[in-house]
Amino acid sequence: MNKVNINEKFSLFTDLWSPKIAGELNGQHVKLVKVKGEFVWHKHDHEDELFLVIKGVLTIEFRDRTETIHENEFIIVPRGVEHRPVAPDEAWVLLFEPKETLNTGDTTGVFTKEKLDEI
C-alpha cells in the first residue's frame, strides 16, 4: 500500500514492449510499458484494455481507422477488437487490464511476454 511514482518507475527500465507490473487491484493489473516501432496485430477475446499515455505519442491502428493518443489521454479497446499499437518515437504507456491479459492477445510470436516482472 505504498504510493507509486510513475516516472520514477519508468526510469528503472529501458526495454521496449515489455510491460512491468506496477500495481494490482480487483483482479486487474496496472502495467507500465515503453514502446517504439510497430507491434503486432492482435485482439483479446476476454479482456478490455486501457492505454493511458504518460509520455510521447501512441498510435493505435484499428481495421477501420487509427487513433492518436497523446499525453494525458487514454483509450479503452474493448475485448474482441483487433488493434495494433505503433509509436514512431518512444512512448511511455500505462495499461489497466485483467491480470490474465497476454500482451499479444490471440497471437504469439517474438513480442509475446508470458511472464511479467513486477517493478
Q: What does the alpha-carbon distance between residue 11 and residue 65 come to, in Å, rounded to a whole number?
A: 33
Interacting residues with a copy of itself between 80 and 99 (CB under 8 A): 81, 96-98
56 or 110: CB nearest a copy of itself:
56
Judge whether 93 and 52 are in contact, CB under 8 Å.
yes
Pair 87, 57: CB distance under 8 Å:
yes
Residues 24 to 53 in contact with a copy of itself, rule: CB under 8 A: 24-26, 28, 30, 47-50
Nearer to a copy of itself, 26 or 109 (CB): 26
Would you say 67 or 90 has its CB closer to a copy of itself? 67
Q: Is 6 in the site for a copy of itself (CB under 8 A)?
A: yes
Please tell me the distance from the alpha carbon of residue 82 to that of residue 29, in angstroms, as a whole number.
Answer: 21
Residues 6+ apart with CB under 8 A from 73: 52, 53
Letter for the amino acid at 105?
Answer: G
Q: Which residues bind a copy of itself (CB under 8 A)?
A: 1-7, 23-26, 28, 30, 47-50, 54, 62, 67-70, 72-78, 81, 96-98
